[in-house]
Amino acid sequence: MDTTAQASPETLRARMVDRILATQRLTPAVEDALRRVERHCYVPDAPLVDAYAEKAVITHTFHDGTHLSCASGPTIVAAMLDALDVRPGQRILEIGAGTGYNAAILATLVGVDGQVTTVDINSDVTAAARRNLTATGFPQVRVLTGDGAADAADHAPYDRIIITVGAWDIPYAWWEQFVPDGRLVLPLRWRGTTRAVALTRNGDHWKSDWVFLCGFVPMLGQPGEQKTILDPDGLVALHHDMDQPIDVDTLHGVLEREKSLLWSDVTVHGEEPFDRIWLRLSAVDDGTVRIEADQRAVASGLCTPAIASRSPALVKGDSLAYFTIRRTATPGRWQLGAIGHGPDGHQLAARIIGQINVWDRNRTADPELLVFPTGVPLPDSTGGKMILKSGNRLILRY
């Protein structure tokens, strides 16, 4: 008999932490903080079971229905906090106040000698976070309303900065607010995919030592990604970065052009992640983008990406190829492939197959990321794929 609905908050919280520990290691300090801070008190309008389930709880939305703020799923919260490596007595800046839950855990980690400042651009979000933090015994957390890239500078320098909204770039203001050995954890977006990344200062640049799949509400005021509709009915779109030389006019109607279908010899079982294929593509091919297909496009066969809402694709001129999958004769297993359209569609699909094969040789490898501010010279020995941001150059290398 399922007793989840009747379980106490303490029982549900213990189950939540045990579930997280089944998939990843946590430091004793982070585990203890997760067991102590009452997550349900930060999402009072959500059912108790939802507060501790492995799901994001939406707390604020725009008038058009898009999400403004939410309580992120417990696993990504725990993973990012663990990667942040918070120590007692440190000064912490959080950008993206959310419900206040993350700030409460940070305050628990830094202890009475530390300081936590959380900033959000929306006053409704910060007002709710302030209420929640005060009600749960964390009045010492500083809650500010403003632009997280600049409005917390008066309380710098910080030992750690954590970003809990999706960032397309890293404002230089964050660099200036750090101690020399500071550590930054954020959801960073490039080539249509988002990864939580832990970065440390390494002289005049940032260097990663941790990469984790995630999804976050995007940060306001960072326009870096563009959207192009491919078909007359608006059912299929590409999401691409502003530094990519994509001729959007030549891509209209591309799905009606000659089609190539290629299959690799690589298969996965139904629960096995294959998101690192996207990372591989972004680290070698400047044409890497995200394709998004409405279910009506999938049902009609117009466009059938592996995951309809978000799959990697490659673009070159008037041609396109995207990642796809199909069931195999073996129950529970799927074959990985690519579909191309246009005169270069077959070549682009073959490139995707090539990176599927590279991924297959080491399915858990993540790239190292280097972030150099614009104007900082790159060492001659710097290798890897460069991606241009507004104020930085992102280098990916394996």
Verify that 42 and 178 share a domain, yes or no.
yes
Verify that 240 and 200 share a domain, yes or no.
no
Verify that 50 and 128 share a domain, yes or no.
yes
Verify that 203 and 235 share a domain, yes or no.
no
Domain count, the chain: 2
Over residues 120-146, the pLDDT tens digits come to 999 999 999 999 999 999 999 999 999
Verify that 162 and 243 share a domain, yes or no.
no
- Per the model's pLDDT, the better-predicted residue between 382 and 79 turns out to be 79
pLDDT band at 59 (very low <50, low <70, confident <90, very high): low
**CA distance linking residue 188 with residue 183, whole number of Å:** 15
Verify that 243 and 199 share a domain, yes or no.
no
Verify that 175 and 324 share a domain, yes or no.
no
Which of the listed ranges 47-56, 242-251, 275-284 does the model predict with the highest average pLDDT?
275-284
pLDDT band at 67 (very low <50, low <70, confident <90, very high): very low
Write the DSSP symbol of residue 16: H
pLDDT band at 57 (very low <50, low <70, confident <90, very high): confident
Verify that 236 and 207 share a domain, yes or no.
no
Two tokens at 331?
A: 């129950």
Verify that 165 and 261 share a domain, yes or no.
no
Any idea of the CA torsion for 27, 29, 30, 32, to the nearest 10 degrees? 120
Contact 71, 99 (CB under 8 A): yes
Q: What is the mean pLDDT of residues 350-372?
A: 97
Q: Is the pLDDT of residue 61 over 60?
A: no
In a domain, 192, yes or no: yes
User: Does residue 72 have an active-site annotation?
Assistant: no
How high is the pLDDT of residue 33?
A: 98
Domain hosting residue 169, numbered range? 4-213
Q: Is the pLDDT of residue 60 over 50?
A: no
Q: Is the pLDDT of residue 338 over 90?
A: yes
Amino acid at 224: G
**CA distance linking residue 260 with residue 346, whole number of Å:** 5
How high is the pLDDT of residue 220?
A: 61
Q: Of 361, 371, 398, whose CA–CA distance to 383 is shortest? A: 398
How high is the pLDDT of residue 62?
A: 47
Verify that 169 and 252 share a domain, yes or no.
no
Residues in Cβ contact with 11 at an 8 Å cutoff, skipping those fewer than 6 apart:
none
Verify that 209 and 242 share a domain, yes or no.
no
Q: Is the pLDDT of residue 314 over 70?
A: yes
- Per the model's pLDDT, the better-predicted residue between 341 and 55 turns out to be 341
Say what the pTM is.
Answer: 0.90
Verify that 181 and 239 share a domain, yes or no.
no
Which among 69, 208, 260, 311 is annotated as catalytic?
69
Task: Share the mean pLDDT of the chain.
Answer: 92
CATH code of 118's domain: 3.40.50.150
Q: Is the pLDDT of residue 229 over 50?
A: yes
